[in-house]
């Protein structure tokens, strides 16, 4: 299998310890780093706002009902100069696989996004472990 | 492979929550001072440009609030770097070694309570302006012979201050309301611009971790340009709550890129805090 398998990536993310992600608020006061939710859906909306951007994912269940997940990410300035923009996130209409830490207060469809994987294998990852180039090579 | 795929879809569409044992790690300070300085190591030894009146020219983009460079492009992917990359974490997490303000003993309980409840009590976590001095050193300075304009793309929103340099006194109208950034006037002491700030609201904190103050707060900022750096020092005096003046220092470095306006701040977190855990939010 020459192509990168996005599903295997998702499995890696779910089975390894996804380190708690860092935001300028207290992440741990709001999100449960001990739980990971894996979603498949389409990016339907992005709020490019402080103190953290929000990415909305439309997830269809087996009955065809759509639930929109609101997923917090990092502060807008963190993305400056990287090329990752609101337009880029919205331009890809493919189904993506997303892992997130859910809200501690039990709010439905609300969490902190740890990784967004596209079908062609490229990712937007906020796991510190993915910052390590050697680890990235291993994954690829 | 196909069955693996089918199973995976079923599981993920049910939004399976897997319980993983992890050990939380503390969040780095994410300050940019050392990282910005490292990009321009000879900045301080460059010539200091001067205005026609002989004073150092403070104009320029000097600092970015925090976090720029955290997300990095690798191939077609985006991964976390900056303070979270083993290669650059040391720079981003360089300790600032700030002294702590010393409060009068009778305010110890209030300070502790505000610190313990920071996720609820910190105005900036709910998108209110940090105010002076918490706003920190200016991100951009527009300097003319008669005034200096300080611009900030703060993550609570865009901020500006106009600092007259023409020798005028502070406004004397007692009816004028206190504000987040106060009433600033500037004068030169040799090559150092001294900015005196009064009429500050008590709705802000001096800094992170519950550092409240009273309406008697008086702030003095000192800016001294050295080459392509500015040594910024700020002193807060509040005889009502502090035992003695509190000072902190930053060195900011001339930046090659333009200041970009801050995205609007919308607090979506307030209703979701379950615990009171918090980490440092150093500026």
Q: Which residues contact B174 (CB under 8 A, 6 or more apart)?
A: none
Cβ–Cβ < 8 Å for B150, B161: yes
Res B11: pLDDT? 35
Please determine, for residue A9, whether its predicted confidence score (pLDDT) is greater than 60: no
Q: How far is A93 from chain B (nearest CA, A)?
A: 16
Q: How far is A62 from chain B (nearest CA, A)?
A: 7
Angle subtended at Cα B252 by Cα B138 and Cα B135, rounded to the nearest 5 degrees: 30
Q: List chain B domain ranges.
A: 42-64+100-272
CATH number of the domain at A6-120, out of 2.40.50, 2.60.40, 3.40.50, 2.60.120? Answer: 2.40.50
Residue B78 three-state SS:
strand
More confident residue, A76 or A20: A76
Please determine, for residue B77, whether its predicted confidence score (pLDDT) is greater than 70: yes
Q: Which of A3, A30, A31, A47 to mutate to test the interface with B (most CBs of B within 10 A)?
A: A30
Size of interface A-B (CB pairs under 8 A): 207
- pLDDT tens-place string over residues B50-60: 999 999 999 99
Res B13: pLDDT? 35
Q: Judging by beta carbons within 10 Å of its beta carbon (0-12, 13-18, 19+), is residue B273 exposed, middle or buried?
A: buried
Res A137: pLDDT? 53
Average pLDDT over every residue of B63-78: 86
- pLDDT tens-place string over residues A56-76: 999 999 999 999 999 999 989
Q: List chain A domain ranges.
A: 6-120
Say whether B272 and A61 touch across the interface (CB within 8 A): no
What average pLDDT does chain B have? 86
Q: List residues bridging with B252 in a β-sheet.
A: B230
More confident residue, A17 or B132: B132
pTM for the full model?
A: 0.84
Cβ–Cβ < 8 Å for B140, B255: no
Cβ–Cβ < 8 Å for B198, B163: no
Touching A: B residues 99-128, CB under 8 Å: 118-119, 125, 127
More confident residue, A32 or B186: B186
Query: In this structure, how many other beta carbons lie within 10 angstroms of the beta carbon of residue A63?
Result: 6
Res B282: pLDDT? 67
Residue A29 to residue B41: CA distance in whole angstroms: 39
- Domain B42-64+100-272 sits in CATH at 2.40.128.20
Q: Which of B19, B26, B70, B156 to mutate to test the interface with A (most CBs of A within 10 A)?
A: B70
Average pLDDT over every residue of A5-19: 37
Half-sphere exposure of B117 (CA within 13 A, CB side): 10
Q: Which residues contact B6 (CB under 8 A, 6 or more apart)?
A: none
């Amino acid at each position: 299998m020459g192509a990168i398998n996005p599903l295997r990536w998702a499995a890696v993310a779910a089975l390894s310890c996804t380190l708690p992600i860092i935001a300028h608020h207290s992440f741990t006061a709001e999100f449960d780093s001990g739980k990971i939710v894996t979603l498949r859906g389409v990016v339907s909306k992005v709020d490019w706002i402080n103190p953290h951007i929000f990415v909305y994912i439309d997830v269809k269940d087996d009955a065809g009902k759509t639930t929109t997940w609101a997923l917090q990410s990092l502060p807008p300035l963190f993305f400056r100069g990287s090329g990752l923009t609101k337009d880029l996130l919205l331009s890809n209409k493919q189904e993506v696989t997303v892992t997130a830490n859910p809200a501690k207060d039990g709010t439905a469809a609300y969490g902190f996004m740890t990784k967004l994987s596209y079908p062609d294998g490229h990712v937007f990852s906020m796991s510190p472990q993915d910052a390590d180039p050697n680890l990235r090579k291993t994954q690829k | 492979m196909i069955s693996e795929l089918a199973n995976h879809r079923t599981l993920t569409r049910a939004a399976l929550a897997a319980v993983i044992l992890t050990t939380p790690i503390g969040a780095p300070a994410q300050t940019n001072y050392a990282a910005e300085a490292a990009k321009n190591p000879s900045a301080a030894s460059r010539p200091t440009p001067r205005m026609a009146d002989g004073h150092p020219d403070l104009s320029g983009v000097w600092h970015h609030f925090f976090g720029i460079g955290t997300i990095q492009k690798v191939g077609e992917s985006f991964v976390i770097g900056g303070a979270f990359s083993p290669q650059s974490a040391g720079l981003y997490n360089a300790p600032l070694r700030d002294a702590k303000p010393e409060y009068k003993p009778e305010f110890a309980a209030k300070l502790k309570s505000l610190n313990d409840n920071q996720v609820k009590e910190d105005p900036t976590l709910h998108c209110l302006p940090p105010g002076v001095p918490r706003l920190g050193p200016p991100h951009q300075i527009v300097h003319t012979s008669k005034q200096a304009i300080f611009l900030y793309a703060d993550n609570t929103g865009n901020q500006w201050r106009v600092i007259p340099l023409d020798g005028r006194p502070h406004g004397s109208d007692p009816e004028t309301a206190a504000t987040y950034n106060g009433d600033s006037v500037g004068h030169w002491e040799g090559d150092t611009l001294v900015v005196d700030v009064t009429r500050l609201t008590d709705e802000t904190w001096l800094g992170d971790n519950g550092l409240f103050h009273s309406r008697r707060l008086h702030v003095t900022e000192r800016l001294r340009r050295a080459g392509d750096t500015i040594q910024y020092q700020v002193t807060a005096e509040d005889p009502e709550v502090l035992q003695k003046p509190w000072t902190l220092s930053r060195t900011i470095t001339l930046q090659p890129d333009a200041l970009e306006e801050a995205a609007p701040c919308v607090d979506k977190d307030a209703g979701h805090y379950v615990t009171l855990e918090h980490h440092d939010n150093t500026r």
